């Protein structure tokens, strides 16, 4: 039965401290714990713990734990709402994103069928489902980014005083479980990029079919804008996560290897003794002495001379104002500009000239996308050329493009 939202949020506001306490009890809570918490928050005239528990159950704020007696946990929608409000993001695996992409492909086929038969109502339903799924993927990608950055901040501060090995195991889990599979997923040769290209073409083609239906045409335009935002922000989320995780991953990996090597060395010294190091034969120093140190008088005189030193004002930092966000090249726009410029004698030089704001990674992605699209319509020159970019210098043979399908 539906719940009145106004009554629901009024009750949630009244018992917000209780809900917040329950939110951080990941393992659940017993009925006795729940009664004690309610009694601690209650005042004169408030209903008793039994009544409040019944209200929590009727509003679907809590539910029984399936494998325990008289134990409860917050329902999944309430946990998701509090996670969003408290910025306690949880990670979504790449396999879930792959399922989303499969659903998008099915919805694209449904939209194509509606376009072929010119069924406006069916196309509107497919567009609505596509838009919701695109936003779900975008929100999950953003949540992953925030969760990963939050975990990196915790590992850097190390308030829990974890050992180097424990911290490396956590960061290695993030790297291997989420970032590496996502890198493979968003690669230009993989299913995600091809599937989103197909969806973009479908939205463009079917938008022309229903161009005379003003409301439906606006929905097509809006859905294409959502798709473009998804591709741009998903790429940004991935690279931002990489920028946060990679330095910590590298440093913790080195520290972990150093600690392990030192541990093995100390174990060997404990078993065999210092003789195994061969220090006497290797260093051959029978005596030692200290030379060139300051006397107390000279050091005192030097410190007395700098006692009155006052540092000057440090020069202010100059902000460059540069935007580090990567420029995303929209495939449909790229193909349209290519078709207008054919034939092209040097594709890479053409990309550099026409997309000056794009980074080297996005230029290479576009270069690879075009080559994989029309491998039979390109020809490579004999001599290698150098292409000077702000981030790097590329060396390649010029690729001539005759046509674009």
Calculate Rg over the CA atoms of the chain.
31
- 76 pLDDT band, cuts 50/70/90, is confident
- Over range 170-191, report the average pLDDT: 73
> Which has the closest alpha carbon to 199: 83, 286, 107, 300?
107
- 313 pLDDT band, cuts 50/70/90, is confident
Greatest mean pLDDT among 261-270, 279-288, 368-377 lies in: 368-377
- Give per-residue pLDDT as tens, 47-64: 888 898 888 888 888 888
> Residue 277 and residue 294: Cα distance in Å, rounded?
34
**Beta bridge partners of residue 29, listed in sequence order:** 72
In sequence order, the 6+-apart residues with CB closer than 8 A to the CB of 195 are: 101, 104, 105, 108
- Over range 308-331, report the average pLDDT: 68
Q: Is this model's pTM higher than 0.85 or not?
A: no
- Over range 237-245, report the average pLDDT: 83
In sequence order, the 6+-apart residues with CB closer than 8 A to the CB of 204 are: 224, 332
> Which has the closest alpha carbon to 238: 226, 248, 249, 230?
230
- Give per-residue pLDDT as tens, 104-153: 899 999 999 999 999 999 999 999 999 999 998 888 888 888 888 888 88
pLDDT for position 325: 44
- 245 pLDDT band, cuts 50/70/90, is confident
Residue 133 parent element (H or E): helix 120-157
pLDDT for position 367: 87
- Over range 204-232, report the average pLDDT: 90
Question: With contact defined as beta carbons under 8 Å apart, do 370 and 397 qualify?
Answer: no
- Over range 183-204, report the average pLDDT: 78
What angle in degrees, to the nearest 10, is found between the helix axes of 214-272 and 164-174? 150
**Percent of the residues in the chain that have a pLDDT greater than 70, as a whole number:** 84
> Residue 320 and residue 315: Cα distance in Å, rounded?
15
Asked if residue 256 has pLDDT above 80, the reply is no
Residue 379 parent element (H or E): strand 378-380
What tokens does 227 get? 């798709």
Residue written as token pair 């719940």: 3
Q: What is the 3-state secondary structure (H, E, C) of 138-182?
A: HHHHHHHHHHHHHHHHHHHHCCCCCCHHHHHHHHHHHHHHHHHHH
Torsion of CA 243, 244, 245, 250, to 10 degrees: 70
Question: With contact defined as beta carbons under 8 Å apart, do 147 and 91 qualify?
Answer: yes
Q: What angle do CA 197, 203, 205 make, to 5 degrees?
A: 100
Greatest mean pLDDT among 28-32, 313-317, 327-331 lies in: 28-32
Asked if residue 205 has pLDDT above 50, the reply is yes
**Percent of the residues in the chain that have a pLDDT greater than 90, as a whole number:** 13
Question: With contact defined as beta carbons under 8 Å apart, do 171 and 266 qualify?
Answer: no
- 185 pLDDT band, cuts 50/70/90, is low
pLDDT for position 129: 93
pLDDT for position 160: 77
pLDDT for position 370: 85
> Residue 244 and residue 114: Cα distance in Å, rounded?
44
Greatest mean pLDDT among 53-57, 83-87, 236-240, 327-331 lies in: 53-57
> Residue 354 and residue 337: Cα distance in Å, rounded?
9
Is 356 strand, coil or helix?
coil
pLDDT for position 189: 57
Question: With contact defined as beta carbons under 8 Å apart, do 207 and 217 qualify?
Answer: yes
- Over range 89-115, report the average pLDDT: 85
E-strand ranges in 216-343 read none
- 291 pLDDT band, cuts 50/70/90, is low
Helix ranges (H only) for 273-383 are 279-283, 296-305, 331-341, 347-354, 360-373
Q: State the chain's mean pLDDT as an integer.
A: 81
């Amino acid at each position: 039965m539906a719940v009145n939202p106004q009554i629901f949020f009024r009750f949630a506001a009244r018992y917000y401290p209780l809900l917040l306490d329950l939110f951080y009890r990941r393992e659940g809570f017993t009925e006795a714990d729940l009664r004690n918490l309610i009694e601690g928050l209650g005042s004169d005239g408030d209903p008793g713990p039994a009544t409040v528990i019944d209200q929590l159950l009727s509003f679907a704020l809590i539910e029984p734990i399936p494998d325990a007696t008289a134990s409860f946990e917050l329902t999944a929608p309430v946990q998701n709402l509090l996670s969003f409000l408290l910025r306690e993001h949880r990670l979504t695996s790449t396999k879930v994103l792959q399922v989303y992409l499969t659903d998008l492909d099915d919805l694209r086929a449904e939209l194509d069928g509606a376009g072929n038969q010119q069924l406006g109502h069916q196309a509107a339903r497919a567009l609505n489902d596509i838009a919701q799924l695109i936003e779900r993927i975008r929100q999950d990608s953003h949540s992953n980014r925030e969760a990963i950055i939050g975990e990196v901040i915790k590992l850097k501060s190390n308030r829990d005083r974890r050992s180097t090995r424990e911290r490396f195991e956590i960061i290695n889990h993030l790297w291997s479980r989420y970032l590496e599979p996502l890198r493979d997923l968003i690669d230009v040769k993989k299913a995600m990029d091809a599937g989103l290209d197909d969806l973009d073409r479908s939205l463009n083609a079917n938008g022309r079919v229903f161009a005379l239906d003003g409301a439906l045409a606006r929905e097509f335009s809006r859905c294409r804008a959502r798709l473009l935002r998804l591709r741009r922000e998903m790429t940004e989320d991935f690279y931002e996560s990489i920028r946060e995780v990679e330095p910590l991953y590298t440093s913790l990996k080195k520290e972990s290897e150093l600690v392990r090597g030192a541990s093995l060395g100390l174990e060997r010294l404990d078993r065999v003794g210092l003789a195994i190091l061969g220090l006497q034969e290797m260093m051959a120093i029978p005596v030692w002495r200290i030379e060139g140190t300051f006397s107390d008088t000279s050091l005192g005189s030097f410190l007395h001379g700098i006692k009155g030193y006052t540092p000057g004002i440090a020069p202010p930092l100059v902000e460059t104002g540069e935007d580090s966000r990567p420029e995303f090249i929209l495939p449909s726009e790229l193909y349209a500009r290519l078709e207008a410029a054919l034939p092209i004698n040097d594709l890479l030089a053409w990309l550099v000239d026409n997309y000056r704001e794009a980074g080297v990674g996005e230029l290479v992605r576009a270069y690879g996308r075009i080559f994989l699209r029309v491998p039979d319509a390109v020809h490579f020159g004999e001599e290698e050329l150098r292409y000077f970019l702000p981030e790097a210098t590329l060396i390649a043979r010029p690729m001539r493009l005759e046509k674009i399908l």
